[in-house]
Chains A and B, each alone.
Chain A
Amino acid sequence: MSQATDTDVSEDGVIDSVSGPVVTAADLDARMNDVVYVGSEGLMGEVIEIEGNVTTIQVYEETSGVSPGEPVENTGEPLSVDLGPGMLDSIYDGVQRPLAVLEDKMGAFLDRGVDAPGIDLERTWEFEPTVAEGDEVRAGDIVGTVPETESIEHKVMVPPDYEGGEVVAADSGNFTVEETVVELDSGEEIQMHQEWPVREARPSVDKQSPTKPLVTGQRVQDGLFPLAKGGTAAIPGPFGSGKTVTQQQLAKWSDADIVVYIGCGERGNEMTEVIDDFPELEDPKTGKPLMSRTCLIANTSNMPVAARESCVYTGITIAEFYRDMGYDVALMADSTSRWAEAMREISSRLEEMPGEEGYPAYLAARLSEFYERAGLFENLNGTEGSVSVVGAVSPPGGDFSEPVTQNTLRIVKTFWALDADLAERRHFPAINWNDSYSLYKEQLDPWFRENVAQDWPEVRQWAVDVLDEESELEEIVQLVGKDALPEDQQLTLEVARYIRESFLQQNALHDVDTFCSPDKSYQILQAIKTFNDEAFEALDAGVPVDEITAIEAAPRLNRIGTTEEYESFIDEIEADMTDELRDLY
């Protein structure tokens, strides 16, 4: 978090009362959402209510021992993040303090009153200008590049609130983030470092309809319920249904350029696992460490509640900054329910009139504001970038009718419903195919037709129909047993079983199966369809269904997922299945 230095608008006040994370101060001349330093220890806080002479502040640190009469210092600036090279490969708390730096400064326990800049101010970066003297630049334009990590080239941009002008100096060389790298004739100086208030979306020219999928490498997600680059998705799940694994699979395998992962109010040990694991993982596309395209934000459940409230904003502002450079960013928030609870907690401390289940009445508005910051954008500098948001929801007692889940569903367009029953039956990923949906299907169909297969949408629809029919038939089977069904329906059940077992299920722990390209997904579905077509031919020719389901080649469908050389393997299975079935009549 940035140490704001400019104090012309500020007028210091004194603490009036203290109650947990909520402090009121008198005589403080501050604007809404200004950052203030509270008490003699200088605890960071934010103004959240102004009433007459009394200003209410939410404090991002523990307030034990703070007493009335201590000073409150206003920085005159809203809660902002430091933007610049060095954010990737970093791990931050909810107000963008780097956890590694905090460990150096105060040891294993998070003490209070310690500030640390979000990006390293000492480190030098190799700057290469992309503009020359005499070039005209405007706000948002890219003026140079910095190799930020092995896989990502950081673009240095004119801050959006600059007027712009003609470049009078631009040199390559090694600079710290605070040194000027480009000077304009308007007198404006451009550094690699920018600040941006977290609660305000970064400006863009235009928001467009997404047309490309965020390829996740997970069959059920890419195949049946695709998410667009720039789209929004929700993963609600009761505890133990594999929510965190699903999020982490996305962070590992999705084809975004940049991943921002927010651990909001989650378990400390779980965050440690992410922190330990991610640096060891390789990016499947480049073979470089996954961390070199990842920014982690970890605010565990016992860290101050106000910082939990702000961590999703910190995350999305960082995501927007990379979007401005023209990158596709995927943001995972685990879990938005904890964020909503933080809002509820602060709201109740403010004695606001509660809405549904004690959540503040503005819950829906805050959620939609946040998800609206996702999208495919035309940036100020003419590039195109996107932010896709995947929010996990933890409904209490697994009840989807609670306010956070319901308000989220009204906004997001993709819904991956995790199911505890499926998880108990060890069907992973436990995404329920009857309850989930994606409203991006039609939008993305042209892309799938062009890049995967012309008949992709039709094949997908066929699979969905079979699964639908299965769930209807299952109800009858429960009453009368499978043998009482007509033969063609028995065969449909068999086909549906293969769709579930070889297509929907995917083993995240298997080296090959953990990632599945869209082409492979398509081929698997095609292979099952081949079985379906040939089997029904055989049935029409009078072959009993028991003989059809007993063929030896079909069970090999279940092994395609774990086979690396899948194309030849599928050809072989298809040929064998066809031979076997045709031999029957």
Chain B
Amino acid sequence: MKEYKTITEISGPLVFAEVDEPIGYDEIVEIETPNGDIKRGQVLESSEGIVSIQVFEGTEGIDRKSSVRFLDETMKMPVTEDLLGRVLDGSGNPIDGGPDIVPDERRDIVGAAINPYAREYPEEFIQTGVSGIDGMNTLVRGQKLPIFSGSGLPHNELALQIARQATVPEEDEEAEDDEEGSEFAVIFGAMGITAEEANEFMDDFERTGALERSVVFMNLADDPAVERTVTPRLALTTAEYLAFDKGYHVLVILTDMTNYCEALREIGAAREEVPGRRGYPGYMYTDLAQLYERAGRIKGREGSVTQIPILTMPGDDDTHPIPDLTGYITEGQIMMDRDLNSQGVQPPINVLPSLSRLMDDGIGEGLTRADHGDVSDQMYAAYAEGEDLRDLVNIVGREALSERDNKYLDFADRFEEEFIQQGYDTNRSIDDTLEIGWDLLSTLPKTELNRIDEELIEENYREAEDAETAQVEAE
């Protein structure tokens, strides 16, 4: 290993150095500053005689006399099952004061693409205990379903709730007989979140004992921005190892993807690349795809990787390049809504623009319940109609509307107050969720339920008299 003292230029996160041997693209570099600090970096461009290096820990303190060592390997993540329960920084070094990590293997962090031919189509329902997701936008194992949020919205609470509650219903039963049945792991990759947010996460993990089955990667807001480009890759490499080698069902939460994309833009700008939309690099689609596509199942292997990336949409604008490109890669999105949030609805999920593309194959008889699809369709339609009518009410007032319209308005209100609203500590089974659905749908006349199979209506519709008697009894 050669050491160079040939830095020619330092600019933002980049360092340029002259070399007299060939250096590999993506190779890892150590830079030692005159006062003995060691900073790590990665080769961004390698040409004959000169390399450009992006420094993860920032370039402060580096001067032209600093020495540069090339480690002759690309970035690797030491993986082992013992990582469960550990807290690491954004570059993968332990920060929990625990023992050193003794890796089983060191894996390249730029994962290879899964051969579409070797994938198994995801169709196993994950119960998150959140009605807005389970009932209306069902998550399945191996899916990538991002949360589209905005600044100041409680996306972290929702992510934590999902991490805490996510189970696969059938396995619950097995788990009762067999204590070892739990093979669920959470990988948490934080990019540029504030120390306060980080504490919230850590407190919650510790309080609920979730830390034992988690691996946490923390890049905080005051950590170097460039490091954020490797954090999700370390997290996903660990996830793939636990899922496809060790058989865990891994849930990966990445927050906040917006910070990740900002870091990409920063590097792009420092390299003087031709920018694409809004200054983000032209390769952002491919770059994001290389992260998001590392979710899925593989034929003949036990585990799965399910991803819930969180992103805050700048200006709540879903046509901004970050949410837009994400939406084209992921299998749907969960939308957080500012209005619902200010009304105090927890979690403030707006189901209308939300979508789960893999839902249809993950629900129904034998998977969730036979009436799931119909109930969800009908609630979508009824809530959408209620929403439309709200605009009208603002103009003409409620009295001017027909009785039917008023029922839809009531439905929309109760849908938000009773179905979506549940608080962050309530864990609803899919049965509970669908029963609340039927309670609400039964406030509409039977004839309005045109998306539900008649037999299912007969079976589940609560007749008005019953409701009235129930009320009388209650009084």
Contact = CB atoms under 8 A, between A and B. Distances in A.
A binds B: yes
Interface of A: 15-20, 24, 26, 62-70, 91, 99-100, 102-103, 107-112, 239-240, 263, 265, 267-273, 275-276, 298, 300-303, 305, 338, 341-342, 344-345, 347-349, 351-352, 354, 357-358, 394, 396-399, 424, 426
Given A65-B27, A66-B24, A302-B293, A109 B276 contact: no
Contacts of A62: 110, 112
Contacts of A300: 113, 116, 289, 293
Contacts of A267: 293, 329, 331
Contacts of B376: none
Contact of A110 (B27, B115, B331, B355): B115
Contacts of B355: 240
Contact of B112 (A18, A111, A239): A111
**Residue from the set A269, A275, A397 with the largest chain B CB neighbour count within 10 Å:** A269
A214 B95 CA distance: 64
Interface in B113-170: 113-122, 142-143
Given A103-B115, A301-B285, A394-B328, A276 B48 contact: no
Contact of B114 (A268, A357, A358): A268
B44 interface: yes
Contact of A107 (B44, B108, B118): B118
Nearest to B355: A240
Contact of B118 (A65, A103, A341, A348): A103
| 6 closest Cβ pairs, A-B complex | A17-B47, A397-B319, A69-B22, A301-B289, A302-B293, A99-B117
B290 A302 contact: yes
A351 B286 contact: no
B275 A269 contact: no
Contact of A269 (B45, B281, B319, B331): B331
22 contacts: A15-B22, A16-B48, A19-B44, A62-B112, A64-B25, A67-B25, A67-B46, A69-B21, A91-B116, A91-B117, A100-B117, A109-B112, A109-B113, A111-B112, A268-B116, A269-B143, A270-B357, A275-B116, A301-B286, A338-B285, A348-B282, A358-B277
Given A18-B46, A64-B74, A303-B113, A351 B274 contact: yes
A358 B25 contact: no
A64 B26 contact: yes
B48 A66 contact: no
Interface in B284-329: 285-286, 289-290, 292-294, 296, 298-299, 301, 318-319, 321, 324-325, 327-329
Contacts of A240: 355, 357
Nearest to A100: B117
Interface residues of B, number: 66
Contact of A302 (B22, B46, B113, B118): B113
B111 interface: yes
Contacts of B263: none
A265 B23 CA distance: 31
Contacts of B289: 265, 300-302
B4 interface: no
B273 interface: yes
B136 to A, nearest CB: 14
B115 A102 contact: yes
B324 A397 contact: yes
Contacts of B108: 64
B260 to A, nearest CB: 16
B317 to A, nearest CB: 9
B193 interface: no
B116 A298 contact: yes
Contacts of A298: 116-117
Contacts, number: 189
Contacts of B143: 269
Contacts of B22: 15, 67-70
A272 B293 contact: no
Contact of A65 (B74, B290, B357): B74
Q: Is the interface of A mostly helix, strand, loop or mixed?
A: mixed
B79 to A, nearest CB: 15
Best-buried of A26, A265, A273, A349 by chain B (most CB within 10 Å): A273
Nearest to A298: B116
B115 A108 contact: yes
Given A19-B45, A109-B111, A65 B25 contact: yes
B384 interface: yes
A108 B286 CA distance: 20
Contacts of B115: 99, 102-103, 108-110
A455 to B, nearest CB: 35
Interface of B: 21-27, 44-48, 73-74, 108, 110-122, 142-143, 244, 273-277, 281-283, 285-286, 289-290, 292-294, 296, 298-299, 301, 318-319, 321, 324-325, 327-329, 331, 355, 357-358, 361, 377, 381, 384
A425 to B, nearest CB: 8
Contact of B293 (A16, A273, A301, A342): A301
Contacts of A111: 112
A236 to B, nearest CB: 13
Contacts of B24: 18, 64-67
A269 B142 contact: yes
Contacts of A352: 274
A20 B283 contact: yes
Given A17-B45, A24-B47, 5 more contacts: A67-B24, A99-B117, A108-B298, A240-B355, A298-B116
Given A70-B22, A272-B120, A348 B113 contact: no
Contacts of A301: 285-286, 289, 293, 329
Contact of A305 (B74, B111, B283): B283
A466 B111 CA distance: 56
B26 to A, nearest CB: 4
Contacts of A107: 118
Nearest to B281: A348
B59 to A, nearest CB: 20
A329 B44 CA distance: 44
A108 B114 contact: yes
Contacts of A347: 282
B46 A17 contact: yes
Contact of B119 (A239, A263, A268, A348): A268
A105 to B, nearest CB: 10
B48 A272 contact: no
Given A17-B48, A426-B381, A272 B121 contact: yes
Which of B25, B108, B298, B361 has its CB near the most chain A CB atoms (within 10 A)?
A: B25
Nearest to A347: B282
B324 to A, nearest CB: 5
Contacts of B48: 16-17, 26, 68-69
A354 to B, nearest CB: 6
A272 B324 contact: no
B324 A396 contact: yes
B233 to A, nearest CB: 11
A63 B321 CA distance: 26
A68 B47 contact: yes
A275 B117 contact: yes
A160 B343 CA distance: 71
Contacts of A302: 113, 286, 289-290, 292-294
Nearest to A397: B319
Contacts of A64: 24-26, 74, 108, 110
A64 B230 CA distance: 14
A103 B45 CA distance: 31
A50 to B, nearest CB: 17
A22 B462 CA distance: 65
Contact of A108 (B26, B301, B321): B301
Nearest to A19: B45
B73 to A, nearest CB: 8
A269 B46 contact: no
Contact of B283 (A15, A272, A275, A348): A348
Contacts of A345: 282-283, 285-286
Contacts of B116: 91, 99, 263, 268, 271-272, 275, 298, 300
